Amino acid sequence: MLALDINSLRFKYKSWTEKKTDNTFDNLDLQVKEAEKVLILANSDEGKTTLSRLVSNLLTKFIPSEIEGSIKLFNQDINSYEPYQLIDKICYVSQNPMEMFITTTVEDEVAFPFETIGIERNKIIEIVNSALIDWGLEKYREVSPSELSGGERKRLLLAISFAINSKIIVFDEAFDDLDKEYRDLLAKKIKEKNNTFIVLSARYLNQFNNVFNRILTLENGQIHNNQDFKTQFTHQAIHHYLNNSRLLKSKDFREDNLLIKKEKLEISSLEIERVRESNKSIKFNLHCDNFIVRTGEIIRLVGKNGSGKSTMSRILCGLDKPLTGKLTLNDEQINKDLLQTKVAYLFQNPDLQIFLPTVYEELAYGLENIEGLSSKQIKEKVQSCAKLFNLELDETPSTMSFALRKFLQAGVYYLLDRPFIILDEIDGAMSYEDSYYIIDKLSEKGSALIIITHDDNFAKEISDRTYLFEDGIVEEIL
């Protein structure tokens, strides 16, 4: 039997500005058998999330749109199911965990779906305990999901989805934000379980090897059986782009061709103690003897989920204060207020930094606070930036794809000329080429880039140095 049967699907969003929109899908067909494991690769903004939400019946009832064709689960039209009937049929894991959490603790989040369908209490406790242990979250059971790291939040969603054990499980960029240990675990579970798995990704990762029955691509609104996917979606495929960029230029070349002032940011004898407000018994400590970054450099921060990469980034950009330690700019001690004018921090989740009604307003906002810029100059800079990052100035950011919101986030800081820029999981839900494009553009003026990633290959060949976060210690590694 077919678990999922999509025929002649046409779909498009209605614009909030009432302008004409193009079809996201045009005569899309997809058939997936029961217990089949299917990987669908697609570049940024090709409709991965849209397809995920459509097959989970989470879109057309809530978002203005037009749809034709049919979507069937187990030979029954998806619209004939009541919402409560879908819980054992299909489960969807979003690329953005925060849009799916609804409770105040980790254990309540796992328990919630089982409470809604009336599972006996002792059985719920058993399910919750098993799920938390499987995904390394048992010590966080009383912690709010909002206080977890990005990778821990993704693991919580995965714990819930495997606990529900729906017949079909749809993963939208589920491997992103996870460190190698949990990427390996997720691949193992997909391979071993008898559920139907549909995994959508912008990149082909090493963990995908020997896991899937079929590998398809989503391009130009249709599904294709493209056997040449590795030429487009693997890390090796973007070398043609890197070779034509400045990213493979030597560190000396980059430092000699700065378009901004040469600067150095340094941390010494840093001690961080972090307490989760929702459970003060869980403490996190981080120690760093020395961390240094200069304009023109590209540095990687690597380490397991929850190892402190984002925590230290918050110190570097002045959002948090360390317990002890010294932060200097050009060998002069620097305070939090000055740090915030020197260090940009692109969060894992762009929605935490995007808040204005249009792309134009978002890009212009920072420039409007710079003395000496006329409205004409601001407009010219914004228009040039929008073209560079492929953005429509009248678009509403909240209705743009996740990838385009990341491009907007990058565009904001491109205009502000910060000498130091932290990119937290810039490769998440992005194609390799799009990720490197953002890195390339942000480095053009000579800004130092600090890249946080869980991908072993990503940014390795363009980095000058790497810092490892392990067991509460930050050290430079070769």
Q: What is the pLDDT of residues 162-176, one digit of tens each?
A: 999 999 999 999 999
pLDDT for position 367: 96
pLDDT for position 15: 76
The angle at the Cα of 134, spanning 124 to 173, to the nearest 5 degrees, equals 105
Same domain, 27 and 126: yes
Same domain, 352 and 450: yes
pLDDT for position 363: 98
* Nearest residue to 294 (alpha-carbon basis) of 249, 248, 328: 328
pLDDT for position 147: 94
Those residues with Cβ within 8 angstroms of residue 38's Cβ, 6 or more apart along the chain or in another chain: 32, 197, 198, 199, 212, 213, 214, 215, 216
What's the rounded Cα separation, in Å, for the pair 63 and 67? 11
What's the rounded Cα separation, in Å, for the pair 168 and 175? 17
Number of domains observed in the structure of the chain: 2
To the nearest 10°, report the CA torsion of 188, 191, 195, 196.
120
Same domain, 468 and 345: yes
Which residue segment(s) compose the domain that 84 sits in?
A: 2-235
pLDDT for position 177: 93
Same domain, 173 and 46: yes
Low-confidence ranges of the chain (pLDDT < 70): 17-18
Domain of residue 448, CATH code: 3.40.50.300
pLDDT for position 327: 96
Quick one: tokens of 201? 């990704």
Q: Which of 210, 235, 260 corresponds to the end of one domain? A: 235
List 380, 425, 433, 476, catalytic entry: 425
* Nearest residue to 178 (alpha-carbon basis) of 191, 192, 159, 162: 159
Same domain, 215 and 274: no
pLDDT for position 274: 87
Same domain, 227 and 336: no
Same domain, 248 and 217: no
Same domain, 268 and 153: no
Q: What is the pLDDT of residues 206-226, one digit of tens each?
A: 999 999 999 999 999 999 998
3-state secondary structure the chain: CEEEEEEEEEEEECCCCCCCCCCCEEEEEEEEECCCEEEEECCCCCCHHHHHHHHCCCCCCCCCEEEEEEEEECCEEHHHCCHHHHCCCEEEECCCHHHCCCCCCHHHHHHHHHHHCCCCHHHHHHHHHHHHHHCCCHHHCCCCHHHCCHHHHHHHHHHHHHHHCCCEEEEECCCCCCCHHHHHHHHHHHHHCCCEEEEEECCCCHHHCCCCCEEEEEECCEEECCCCCHHHHCHHHHHHHHHCCCCCCCHHHHHHCCCCCCCEEEEEEEEEEEEECCEEEEEEEEEEEEEEEECCCEEEEEECCCCCHHHHHHHHCCCCCCCEEEEEECCEECCHHHHHHHEEEECCCHHHCCCCCCHHHHHHHHHCCCCCCCHHHHHHHHHHHHHHCCCCCCCCHHHCCHHHHHHHHHHHHHHHCCCEEEEECCCCCCCHHHHHHHHHHHHCCCCEEEEECCCCCCCCCCCCEEEEEECCEEEEEC
Same domain, 252 and 228: no
Same domain, 415 and 285: yes
Same domain, 222 and 246: no
Q: Which of 208, 235, 262 corresponds to the end of one domain? A: 235
Q: Which of 235, 260, 280 corresponds to the end of one domain? A: 235
pLDDT for position 231: 83
Same domain, 255 and 364: yes
* pTM of the predicted model as reported, rounded to 2 decimal places: 0.95
Annotated catalytic, 368? no
